Structure 1
Amino acid sequence: MAATKTRTIEQLVAEYAEPIADAVGLDVDDDDRTLSGFTRLLSDAADMLSPADCTREWLEDAAEALTALGYVDTDTARQAILARVDGLLYEAKSDLESC
């Protein structure tokens, strides 16, 4: 069985906040580096895209999943959510960079 990569909010913010914000014309500030700020940044970025754009759905799904972090009480559940968010943001970032 392959080892699962452990992710943190800080890692996700460092990897995805700037490229996603830049792609849609937003700025990243210190507040956007917190869980709630990053969630809001993803929602704001999604709002800048067409409702028919699959990237918008990935960003909305990632923001929704991050909101769910406040409701989980085990590290296993937290890591599952962070892994899902990582996958969604990887797809969104790749798609935005190719446009």
Structure 2
Amino acid sequence: MRDSLRKIESLTIENVVQGHGEVILRGEVNSSIKDRIDYLEKIEQIILDAALDDFPGEYLKEKTIEVCGKSRILLAGAAEEIHQLNLRHLYQKVHGENPRGYNS
């Protein structure tokens, strides 16, 4: 996904129409893409750090969307739930198991 975002970042784009959310205007495109890349890098680091914790599931739950620089109110308030699902899925993908101590 980061590679795709970096390709978009290298283009000259007037605006971006997202699948959800606001239209991103010309002056906001690069900062918006950088913000998304930063988020992906933060959650990747969280997943790596969680594996070092005795209870990685609890560790993941503590890493709210706000810790990653995003607002809870995005996506009509569903952002935190989606964020936690992303963390859990990425943990499973990277480590091949459910995070211990993660009770949804």
TM-score of the superposition, structure 1-length normalised?
0.32
TM-score of the superposition, structure 2-length normalised?
0.31
Q: Which has the higher helix share?
A: 1
Q: Which has the larger radius of gyration?
A: 2
